[in-house]
Amino acid sequence: MAETTRAAGERVPASGTVHWIGAGLSTGSGFAVLCDTADRVRLWHRTEERAARSLAVLGLTGRAEPRAFTLPALAAELAPGDVVVSMLPAPEHAALLGVCVERRAHFACSSYVSDAVLDLVPAAREAGVVVLTEAGLDPGIDHLFAHDLIARAREAIGAETAAEVSLTSYCGGIPAVPNDFRYRFSWAPLGVLGALRSPARYLEAGAETTTARPWEATRPHVIDGETFEVYPNRDSVPFVDQYGLPDAWKPETFVRGTLRLDGWLRAWERVFEELKGGDDARIAALAAELAATYPTTDEDRDRVVLAVTLDVRAGSGDVWSGRYLLDLRGTEEESAMARCVSRPLALGVRHILDGSLPPGLGRAAETAERSRQWLAELAAEGLEFTLRT
């Protein structure tokens, strides 16, 4: 069918061309996989020279085309059915998606869905454009783990059985070798500080709880004998519905949060004092100071820990418990964070390319069936994690 006669809402066939926007700390082996999968790949960076250098560092010179990124330059090269992968900060996604809708190109990112992106979803669906979001590590793999655990518990306990539920999902990028600061920046320091300044909402003892300063809700969390510190972040409450908990199950505890090394709370005391009283300008300056004081170097090795645990206790006394654990360390070739973000994102892009994702908004995990499929594919590609029930 010719493009001009395509029905409204009918999915635009993938062209086979992928535009990867940005080559920061989270661009890893997933990008390399796409270079083997897609017909054509372009890497867009601040300048063509920086894009070329990034390709050289990744060992991909000649396998992708370097480009200097501006929205007009990207728009000029977009064709219907192309896939745009955004590694830019979340506030920049709406502008990118707007260009994609105009050009009838598909869109993918690893970030949460913003209101600005949501506003564009109806137009994207009408144009036959796939909008894949939350397809990284957190959000992304954490969703896959949660959906699969809930499906397994439903099979064991029964969706109609009254039960009390505890679900915790904690994820963190930390130094593989602990340092005095108890942290390693795997994304922009200003973004890290901004997240700490945002209130957190979650369920505790069956009631909604909000904390204006997430770090003040930090508590110990033991995983296989190792003690970490965890705290809630963002808004966990909408995920009760997104994860599809049965109506008969009452969530007593439902927390999605951040994991840090033991001792982090004490090591960051000065930072917290600044966050309490600093204005935007002071926090931006603090972010720059932290970046200079605690730089991420090529010699550093990071570690990513993601633990999702579900406990379901039925009124009859039956109990089902399950936990997924991902615990990876970075290597000389690739950081753990880059691997964990880029691999699921690349998998989602490949499913856009093969036509298996429908137009409109989608996340890494929409159903338990798709979660199990994606987890199996990620495991087959060497991403290591364990399930304990």
Tens digit of pLDDT per residue, the chain (389 long)? 344 556 778 999 999 999 999 987 788 899 999 999 999 999 999 999 999 999 999 999 999 999 999 999 999 999 999 999 999 988 999 999 999 999 999 999 999 999 999 999 999 999 999 999 999 999 999 999 999 999 999 999 999 999 999 999 999 999 999 999 999 887 789 989 999 999 999 999 999 999 999 999 999 999 999 999 999 999 999 999 999 999 999 999 999 999 999 999 999 999 999 999 889 999 999 999 999 999 888 788 999 999 999 999 998 888 999 999 999 999 998 999 999 999 999 999 999 999 999 999 999 988 999 999 999 999 999 999 999 99
Contacts of 298 (CB under 8 A, 6+ apart): none
Distance CA 18, CA 85 (A): 7
Active site positions, annotated: 138
DSSP state letter for 10? P
Beta carbons within 10 angstroms of residue 124's beta carbon = 22
pTM for the model: 0.94
Distance CA 163, CA 343 (A): 35
Contacts of 53 (CB under 8 A, 6+ apart): none
**Which helix (H) or strand (E) element contains residue 18?**
strand 17-21
Contacts of 245 (CB under 8 A, 6+ apart): 150, 165, 251
Nearest Cα residue to 360 out of 37, 154, 100, 41: 100
